[in-house]
Amino acid sequence: FFPFFSSVGALCSPMLLSTFSHFSLFHMAANMYVLWSFSSSIVSLLGCEQFIAVYLSAGVISTFVSYVAKMATGRFEPSLGASGAIMTVLAAVCTKMPEAKLAIVFLPMFTFTAGS
């Protein structure tokens, strides 16, 4: 009974921890800016517990998909799930609030709706 759970933990822990990993300081800064921009909207819609569940689930799933894609292509680089989790938060906001106005960080003069 216990050996099963310890082996599952050994397999899942790296995927869970990769949800908080980044390739560079710029990568982390960009992800944190997007998370800061959109998290309050989705937390108000889903609640804190559901937001954390969505974020962590998306991080683990995106890390797993990255592992599979890299194994299929023969590339053996690190797989990190932080960006996948952040993009899931962005997708949730765009899905739940399609009329919200968005802009690209470096081009703030061009706005568009979340639905587009």
104 or 94: whose pLDDT is higher?
94
Express as a percent the part of the chain with pLDDT over 70.
84
* pLDDT at 2 (0 to 100): 45
Long-range contacts of 59-63 (CB under 8 A, 24+ apart): 59/15, 59/16, 59/18, 59/19, 59/20, 59/84, 59/85, 60/12, 60/15, 60/16, 60/19, 62/87, 62/88, 63/14, 63/15, 63/18, 63/19
Span 18-36, mean pLDDT? 79
Per the prediction, the chain carries an average pLDDT of 79
Tell me if the pTM is above 0.75.
Answer: no
Mean pLDDT for the stretch of residues 60-67? 84
Among residues 18, 6, 19, the alpha carbon closest in space to that of 52 is found at 19
